[in-house]
Each structure stands twice: as C-alpha cells, then as structure tokens.
Structure 1
Amino acid sequence: MVNVDLLPASGQSTTISVGDVVTEAGVTIPDVQISFFAFYDATSADPNYADFSEGPEPGLDVDQRPILLIEHALTGDGNLADWWFEMVGPHKPLDTTRYLILCSNVLGGCMGSTGPCSPHPDGKAWGSRFPGISIRDMVTAEKALIDALGISHIQAVIGASMGGARTLEWTLMFPDYVGAALPIAVSARASAWQIGLQSSQIRFIENDPHWHGGDYYETGHTPAEGMGQARRIAHLTYRGELEIDERFGVDPQRNENPYGAYRRADQRFAVESYLDRQAEKLKERFDAGSYVALTDALNRHDVGRGRGGMNAALAKSQVPTMIAGVDTDILYPWHQQEHLSRNLGDFIGLSQITSPTGHDGFLIEGRQMGLILQKFLLKAEHICQDVRE
C-alpha cells in the first residue's frame, strides 16, 4: 500500500525529506531531500486500444495498483513523460491506467534532490563538500523514499544506462522489495574504457577556470566551457558511428568553410555544429557539479565490490531479471549485456534493440523498446501471480 496523501498529482513532482543518508564510504549527508514524479491515470475509453491479454486491470484505485519504479539516466530526471514520452501514458507500454509509476530525481543530481548545488546546513551550496557517491548510495536514498511512501513491494524496477546500474543494485541490495527487474544498456561494472571516457569528461570540467574546486556557486560564473567539452565527448558515445556519419559525413556547416587555408574555430564541419548545439543545450539545463558527481558515481559502479566479484554477485541475484541492450552501443557494448545474461542467478530473457543510433537507441527506437517493455511486464505479472499463489 502506498500513502497516496504523499503522492503529487499525476505527471507532477513533489519533494520529500528522507532523513540522513550515510554513503558507502561512510559520510553522512543530513536531511536528504528526494524529488520524484508520479504517473497514474483513471481508465479511459479507447475503442482502438487492443488490450494485451494479461496484466493488472485498468482503472484500479491508485493505492491498489502494482508499482513500477523507473530509473533515469545520467542527465535525465524524474519527468519520465518528457524523456520517454512514447513509453508512458494511458495504454502505452508503461500504462498509467494500470500501474502507479514512480520516477525520482537521483541523489547528487540538480533537479530537486540533494546534490552539490543544494543548500548545505550552513546555507551555502554543498559544492566541494558534497561527498563522492556511488550507485549504491543513490539506491539507498531511493529506498528511503520508498519507505517514506509506505511501499513494501515494487512489481518491477526498470532503468537504462545509469538507471540500469541502479536497477541492478536494487536487485542485490533490496531483493525482497523487487518482483522483477529490467536493466537496459548497462554492464555489471564500469570497464576501464568507460572510466577513461568518463574521467576525461570530469577533467575538462575541473580544468575550467570557473570551476573553483567545485565552489563556483556564489561567484556568478559556471564552468560552462568545461561542461560543454565534456558533453561533446559524452554525446559521441551516446550515438552510433553509422548514424553520425550518415547524417553529417564530411559536409561543412552551412555558410562555413573548414577547408580554408588556415583553421578557424568559426569554420566548422556540420558534425561540429551539431556537437556544439548539444553542449549548449546541456549547459542551459544541468549543473556541472552534479555532472561531475554522477559521472564519478558511474566510475565507481561495480556490483561485485565487497560481494566476492561481479560474477559471484550476479550468481546470487534472487530477482527475476531480463536484460536489454542496443547492438551498436559503443558506451555499453552488447557483449556486456550478454555477460549479464550468462551470469545472473535468475535470468528471464535477453532482448536486443537493432538500431544505427547507438546507446541512445533505448530512447529513439520506440517500437522496439515498447515491445520489450510489454514482454517484460507480462513476465513480471506472471512472476507476481506465482508468488501470490
């Protein structure tokens, strides 16, 4: 049962204090605030809607519905309907007439939950005083939110990329709370390749003259240039080489000439202009301190730490887990999802998204992702029925 009095209106967010959180490394973050969105709608008549044969009845009271916990990626947030709009809503794969769907803004982020830009107890921003956090610390904070809401069981946890890492940790940290899990486009631990890419992004931000060791919040400036450089690197790993080459090739940006006698920063290839725009968009909406904290958390991702190694940890998993990935993903290559499928203790399926778009395929390939979600949720419903019986 969920305490419905604490839920925001469907599609809206609210913030709850979950108390102190002690990090895996032993630092106490006092009075942590977690912001979250909730999605739930009354059943609506739709004569064109083909009901899939099994699953929860539409239109159940909110406090009676199965709960889905959705985990967002690095620069995402709890507004699931914004970044996964094809997946969530009435009669969509994440059907808001059947489920209560929760998505929280992650600890360390900048979208309402406690992070580097949040007020420290002394009234100033946490800044450099915000501790290094791990994926497990994020899940600890989410579990505190679930407890505050009075929830004792989650039918399924679903997440991709950094959200997939949190999904895996939910199955290992709190298996009694989770009916089934779907980690997407993620690995059991950060590889040296991923750490190298991610630490390079951190270095760009930390070397920006406006970084001030992470304490830039009262200076009137932000490390925007370093943030932009970090985003350029990251975005190339989120997309596929084939897609980028097909879209841009070696074309110059319109009205610019990168083939001139001397190189000039304002004479770009089309792909450079594209990456510049991605950098500008992120600088406008995301905090550099959070970007560093969350990227560092991804570097620390390792389900095997303190559990006898990653294969031993996966083998002990008690939660039925389905895996999905993208065939052209260079950030979390397909072989990493295959590794999960071979070693999980309760493995229930492996699905591949075929796409030229790389890691972001889980966001872009709506039809394929929707079919995977529907298949997974039917499996989760069967599992929960078996447990109830």
Structure 2
Amino acid sequence: MPPTALDAPDRPLKHSLYYFASDEGGASAADKRRLLFDSARFADRHGFCAVWAPERHFHAFGGLSPNPSVTAAALAALTSNVRIRSGSVVLPLHAVARVAEEWALVDVLSGGRVDLGLASGWFPNDFVLAPPGTYERRGELLFERLEALRRLWRGESFEAVNPLGDSVSLRTLPRPVQPELPVWITAAGNPDTFRRAGSLGVNVLTHLLGQSLDALAEKIAVYRQAWAEAGHPGRGEIALMLHAYVGEDDDAVRRTVRAPMLHYLASSAQLVGRYTASVPFFQQRCAVDTGALTAQDVDDALAFSFERYYQTSSLLGTVDDCLDRLDHMRAIGVDEIACLIDFGVPTDEVLAALPRLAELFELANVSEAELAAVA
C-alpha cells in the first residue's frame, strides 16, 4: 500500500507567502514594493517558513518579478529566518550555469536559505527568450537541466568551447553556502510530473487551478509511492499555492476579494484559453473557446468560478472557515500552504490581514492534546 497523509496525521502544517506579482488592481510601483517588503518582514517575524518569488514575462502577471533571483536577493537582505525560494525559475529559458551563479549568490546573501523552485514553462510568448525548439522540448529540458544544475551547485566543472575556439573547463562562482541544492518542481495536471519528482527525491509546488482536491490527493499518493520506491529518506514535501485573505466577517471578505478575484479569473482565462486543453475556471460551465460565449455567458461563468474557488480552493474567508479547509488539505498529504497575497487587494488591506493569516496557522497547528488541556 503506498504511503499516504495518514502516515503522519499530527505533523505541523507549514505556511509561506507566495508572490504572484499580479498587475491587477492598478497598484502603484511604490505600493507593490511596500507590499512585497513589508509582508516579507512580517513573515520573517511570525513563523512563516518561506517567501516565494515568481518568474513572469510579457503579460499582466509580470509585475515586479521578471527575474526571481533579483527579487530574492532583495528579500534575502530584508530577512533572517524565512527560506528564500523561486516560485518558479522556468529552467528551459535559461543557461544552467547562469542560474547556478545567480542563486548561489542569493544563497550567500541569505546565509544558506535558498530553495530553488523550477518549472518547465507553458506560455509560448515566454519562449522568445530561448532558442527555437525549446518550447516543444520544455518538459524534458526541465529535468535534463535540473541534473546539470545540481552538479554545478556541488562544485563540479563543466566543459565548454569559448568564442575563440578554446575548450575550457569551468566552475560556477560564487560557491553557495549549502552543499546540496534544495529543489521544488512545479506540477499540476500531469501525474507523471509528480511521479518523476518523487523518484528524483525533490519537493513539489502545486495549485488548484484546474484540479480538484480529490485529483490532487491521487497525485500526492503517486508522488509518495515513487519517493518510497526510489529509497529516499523521509517522504518529500508538497506545497500548495492558494489565494489567501483572512478576515473577521465572511461578507466583508467577499466584498474585499470579489472584484480582484474576478479580474484575476478573467485575465487567466484569456491568457490560457488559446494554449491549454481546458480553461480551469470555466471547465465546469462552458467551452474552452471563450470567443464563442456572450458577455453574459462570461459573466455567469466567472461568477460561478469565483464561488467555487472561494469555497473550496482558497484561503479566502474567516479563520473558522479556513480551518476546515486546512484540515482537508492536511488530510490528503499537503505539507505547506503557499499563501498568494498579491492578487489585487489594496496593499493596506492585505497587510492589515496578515496577523489573522498567522493566527489561522497557529490554530491549525494546535494539537488535540493542547486543545484538551485548554478545555
């Protein structure tokens, strides 16, 4: 029988901050910077395990992070405790040696707190940054370059030919603090990605855009079985990215997040509609070809998607509502919630809600024994 979440029912549920760098909501550059820096400082002081910096190019989700190593370097200088993660480097777009050097520097600046989240990428326009043919091979390139990246991180040399025709043997610099590179693979729809990550002994970052919790539970079981069969120690970690805004009153939370979430869902549907087999937010109500829909169809689908997402696939709501969702997520094998906070809610309101988000995880990690003692 494959290992499941029930093998460790009382483990703490970790929590981190994830920055999607959305341009939705029209926030100023100063507000975006303040949200990024002030929330990272809060996370560092209040028990969050990590902050995640994304890689985004050429569209509304580009925001402040076209290169996550730059964002990560700034976050490393501001913090002392949280892990500094990419969420994620699109590895097929980049020279492996350059990724190794940039993130080794962040590892030095942070005192050895780097985790590297890696992704294959999916949006065709991003691949104008890479040689022709990269897009078609992006899945395999991710894992090929992962192995090369691990070797460079350990200090192994690589062979190359410079522009003068000289064969050279090179090592990347600076040398990182951590001798081994902690890795997360971004995965969602494809169980084979979960299986491969488990076999390689790397962690997984995932989300609920286009997959249900039941479907995710099956993929986590596949991951844990592959991990065990490969003989790796431990069980690996699954981080689940969720939109997060916790308030004192459910109606007030809905009023605060509804417009930003509808903008987010609409932009996402337009962005992915041409390039994926299904549009996650419309999959239960309408066809992929959103161009065939009337304006009312689109509004109805967005409203339906918002309600479904709000109730089942987010940390939007009150502490009590979100506690129930966290119990379910822990039960299926999730180890960490990556709380996406920059999706268009005004900066002051996001920052004001962070103490309630921290309180949520404090309560989620109170054991039954501790509750009984209090009672």
TM over 0.5: no
* Greater share of helix: 2
TM-score normalised over the length of structure 2:
0.30
Asked which structure has the greater RCO (Cα within 8 Å, sep 6+), the reply is: 2
